[in-house]
Structure 1
């Protein structure tokens, strides 16, 4: 009879030791992970300084300055929203033209065409130079020989857009290495 109780006793003593050992190992592993260098998340905006940042802010016109301000606040508020091809709501995500239409429709009551190509063809003043852009202007990019991307200029060399699948709505420098090379022109919808 004595071997059986001893075996049970040894087993019952070893389980708490195993559990304590596993718990101790988990705690050490967690602390080691916290002490290691953190994983860098991709920023929602570029950290470089735009050459346009020192230009004075421009509003499209005195009459539309309030609408431009509403558009800027709405655009900035959507930074971080997930990208989704064909998306046009904050809950469902945005593609580039869906984002711009949503911003203008909800902030200024202006309904825009559905695609970046159709937005670029609108009857609105064309702004050819980045230095002449005003807050609230639509900005268009020629990628692959045709207008295929749109954002909204917020001023100081920055624009808000929904750039790609797997990403989020973000704020970027319009004159950065990629976007500066593909900038086609702006459209002033608010005049």
Structure 2
């Protein structure tokens, strides 16, 4: 098994704050809304469960680290599993819903409540496609979760989201893509939520 993907209602995750590291707990405490705090803990526990299943261990044995590749800060950046360099992880949370993935290759995941975001986050082609859809909020969210998942998998940048076109490659752009370059995209749908997971084609190796 090379990947474990989970989307779950926040309330269905056995979210034990005690499993989190001191750094995670500190970031949790800085959140203001109780719903955001619960979602944060649930997502950070869920990613441990995914990694534990992939590695054949318990979630209590999984330590999640976070460090920015650019500045070295432990306050932001991609999560990773301590002492398990061959495993890549990603997580996402919004109020009511969480998601996580663990894989033996580059991966990214996102989950969002269906909503209509700004056109500045879209390419011209994407904005035109969204405007032509019957449900613009649903259409926008389908694109946005793909962009977020791709960036978390190491493909593109949210600072340049307009240039990260995730429509299918044909000129009409009649549907979101299920592949961008060497990254495979899979959509998930829940009640009022949409998600996407991005899995890179190549197995992860340390550089």
TM range (shorter): under 0.3
* TM-score, scaled relative to structure 1: 0.27
* TM-score, scaled relative to structure 2: 0.25
Higher relative contact order (CA 8 A, sep 6+): 1
Q: Which has the higher strand share?
A: 2
